[in-house]
Every structure is written in C-alpha cells, then in structure tokens.
C-alpha cells in the first residue's frame, strides 16, 4: 500500500482563506469523482466557508471528556475506517485534548497518510516551530500550538494563500473573520498593518525556500548541471586565510543587491585529513557567515577548484567570489592557481569575482574583468 500524499495550504494570518481553499480543493476533487470527506473543519462562523463545505460528506467528530467538560475532536478511527480517497483536515498545528491517541493533529494526519489516504490541511506561518520566537517578537503574542517545520516541509505540495495586510484588515472590518465584539481589539493588536506585513513576508520567504528545495531536487533528479538563475545565489570560497572576512562581507553585499538573494560560504578539506588552513580562522569565519545570514559548508576534495565548481553547480550558485592569489610570481609561472582553474571551469553560466585584498601577493593591481552587472566588485 502506497503512502498518501499531503497538500498544505500555508497562510500568514487567520482569515486569509486557507480553510476556504482547502474546501474548494475538496469540491474540485469530488467533482472529478474522487471520494472526499471532511475529517475536521473549523469555519468559525464564516458564512462563505460554511457554504463551500456544502455537499461534502463530514465524518462526525468524537466527544472527549476533560476536566468535567466535553470537547470535540476529529474521530481518527472513524476516518480510518471510512478510508476515503481524500480527507480534509483543518489546522495542522492543533493540539488534541488529553485523552486522544495522539497529542497533535499532525500526528493524526501521519496515521491517515500511512493508511494510504491523501490529506489536504492548513497551517499559519506563526505555528511553524522554527519561527515561534520571531513571530512573538513581531506580534508580542506567544504561539503555544506549533508544528515541526519538517512535517510541513515533507508535504508533497505547499500552497501559499496570500493576501495583503490592507485587504485582510478590510475583511476584518466587514466581519468576515471575527465576530463584531472582537474586531476593534484585533485591529489594534495582532492585526496591525505592520504585523501583517511582517508575517506575510515570513510566509513568502519560507514558501520560496521550499520551492527552491523542490527545484534543486528536480535538477538533481534530471541530471541538470548548469545553474538556473531563479535568484542570485553567491558562493564565497574560503581558503582559511586572513582574507576570508573581506570575501564574506563582499559576498553578502553582492547577494543583498537583488531581491531574494542569498550567500553561502564553503571550504574544501583534503581527503587525507591534512590541515591546509587555520582552524581558528575558519571557526571565526564560520561565525561571521552565520551572523550575516549565510550558511557555511565544508566539502572534501583533493582538487580544490573542481570541488568548488561541483558544489557551486549543486547549490545552483550564480556567482563565485574568490580572493586574489597569495602565491608568489615564481609559483604562478610554474603552475596554475586554484583561482585560474575556477575561472576556466566556470563556463558561461557562473560569474566569478576575484576580489583583491591586503594579503594578495605583492599588493599588485589586478585587471578588472566584467562578467555581469555589479562588475565594480569584480577584479582579476
């Protein structure tokens, strides 16, 4: 039996339309003849959401007693016994009432997927575990219900449900999100325009990263070697020398010039384990990369230039930043340097920027080479 497929509608805040879109997807699949049921859906009294659920079979909820009160939760066993083709299960990050088999709803969904049932679910960006502190800093509200990022990342499809902060506030004013007695408080606190704009950006960036992961998997699966320049991705190659700080900062500035740009740093270790760089300097540079929002990677290879080029193509880098050579003129006459090999092997699909620095041999002038916009940083 094959595992079911998971589709997640991701939103920046309550009211953007995740549940409505989940139900719309259910109606679309049911219209094609798929067996669809609502395992759990919360409409919060919103008429349009309730209307979208009409005609879809709903598996009755189960009552769970807790501390003298009865709560309703998704009846997991009933959905498993019904075994539909698709189950619509709202609120992925929901915490079940104590007494249920699983603590979290995403664990219920895992059981449905293991049973071969496709699931369509919803989640807001503020419920992702890795963003919990960031969201609290923005909104002053601590989210107690969270879902591990990997649960959402493993979804077969992630659909971003987007709405501008202004449009969402209008929906709130018109009574399409919360009841009238909660509107003013919501607008002046959680639903402030600045909050909504920041949450929207978080949702977009997180979703964009997932799209990038899918693109990398596609390129690897289809043996595509040349980079696809969907965004500027700058790779800085670090030898472990003192010029590394200069190169890292230059790579960061270059990546920041374009929307969505990012930078990575890498160091190549020899396969025989012999150290060719100062561990202390590398550790400091690793910290600097993290502080500037980049990621640090170590790869193993005896051909440094080839290792840099292979890694650049693996991560879909559009630019490589390297330092001007620290070798003497005599060594340059006798053998080709790593930088020259990287430039030769980069082809037409990766720009190489050779950055001068105080440690370059003889402090000599390096001839400028233009390969793209931003050539004011490029020297050879």
Strand partners, 267: 298
Give the confidence band of 278 by pLDDT, cuts at 50, 70, 90. confident
Q: CB-based contacts of 223: which residues, under 8 Å, 6+ apart?
A: none
Residue 332 has what pLDDT?
A: 43
Report the length, in residues, of the chain: 380
Residue 362 has what pLDDT?
A: 42
Mean pLDDT of 358-368: 43
pLDDT over threshold 60, residue 156: yes
pLDDT over threshold 70, residue 38: yes
Mean pLDDT of 174-195: 92
What sections of the chain are H helices per DSSP?
A: 18-31, 47-53, 76-82, 105-114, 132-139, 149-153, 165-173, 180-188, 193-221, 244-256, 279-291, 304-314, 329-334, 338-345
Higher pLDDT, 324 or 192: 192
Q: CB-based contacts of 121: which residues, under 8 Å, 6+ apart?
A: 6, 7, 8, 9, 22, 88, 89, 90, 91, 92, 109
Mean pLDDT of 181-199: 93
Q: CB-based contacts of 337: which residues, under 8 Å, 6+ apart?
A: 325, 327, 331
Give the confidence band of 32 by pLDDT, cuts at 50, 70, 90. very high
Give the confidence band of 226 by pLDDT, cuts at 50, 70, 90. low
Give the confidence band of 258 by pLDDT, cuts at 50, 70, 90. low
Residue 253 has what pLDDT?
A: 87
Q: How far apart are CA 13 and CA 1, in angstroms?
A: 36
Give the confidence band of 259 by pLDDT, cuts at 50, 70, 90. low
Among the listed ranges 65-74, 115-124, 369-378, which one has the minimum average pLDDT value?
369-378
Domains observed in the chain? 6-221 (3.40.50.300), 233-377 (3.40.50.620)
Residue 348 has what pLDDT?
A: 75
């Amino acid at each position: 039996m094959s595992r079911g497929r998971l589709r997640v509608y991701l939103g920046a805040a309550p009211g953007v339309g995740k549940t409505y879109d989940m139900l719309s997807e259910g109606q679309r699949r049911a219209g094609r003849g798929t067996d669809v049921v609502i395992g759990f859906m919360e409409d919060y009294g919103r008429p349009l959401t309730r209307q979208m659920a009409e005609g879809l079979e709903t598996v009755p909820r189960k009552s769970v007693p807790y501390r003298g009160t009865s709560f309703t939760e998704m009846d997991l066993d009933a959905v498993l016994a019904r075994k539909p083709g698709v189950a619509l299960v709202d609120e992925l990050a929901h915490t079940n009432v104590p007494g249920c088999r699983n603590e979290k709803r995403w664990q219920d969904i895992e059981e449905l997927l293991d049973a071969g049932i496709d699931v369509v679910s919803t989640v807001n960006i503020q419920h992702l575990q890795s963003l919990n502190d960031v969201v609290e800093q923005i909104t002053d509200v601590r989210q107690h219900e969270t879902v591990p990022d990997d649960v959402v990342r493993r979804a077969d499809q992630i659909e971003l449900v987007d709405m501008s902060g202004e449009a969402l506030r209008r929906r709130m004013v018109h009574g399409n999100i919360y009841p009238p007695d909660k509107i003013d408080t919501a607008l002046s606190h959680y639903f402030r325009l600045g909050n909504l704009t920041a949450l929207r950006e978080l949702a977009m960036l997180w979703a964009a990263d997932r799209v990038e992961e899918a693109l990398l998997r596609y390129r690897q699966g289809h043996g595509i070697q040349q980079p696809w320049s969907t965004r500027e991705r700058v790779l800085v190659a670090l030898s472990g020398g003192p010029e590394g700080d200069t190169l890292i900062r230059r790579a960061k500035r270059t990546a920041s010039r374009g929307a969505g740009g990012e930078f990575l740093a890498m160091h190549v270790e020899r396969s025989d384990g012999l150290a060719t760089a100062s561990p202390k300097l590398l550790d400091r540079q690793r910290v600097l990369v993290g502080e500037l929002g980049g990621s640090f990677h170590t790869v193993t290879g005896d051909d440094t230039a080839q290792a840099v080029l292979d890694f650049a193509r693996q991560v879909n880098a559009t630019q490589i930043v390297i330092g001007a050579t620290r070798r003497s003129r005599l060594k340059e006459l006798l053998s080709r340097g790593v930088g020259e090999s990287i430039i030769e092997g980069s082809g037409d699909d990766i720009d190489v920027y050779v950055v001068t620095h105080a440690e370059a041999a003889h402090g000599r002038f390096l001839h400028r080479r233009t390969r793209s916009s931003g050539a004011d940083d490029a020297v050879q």
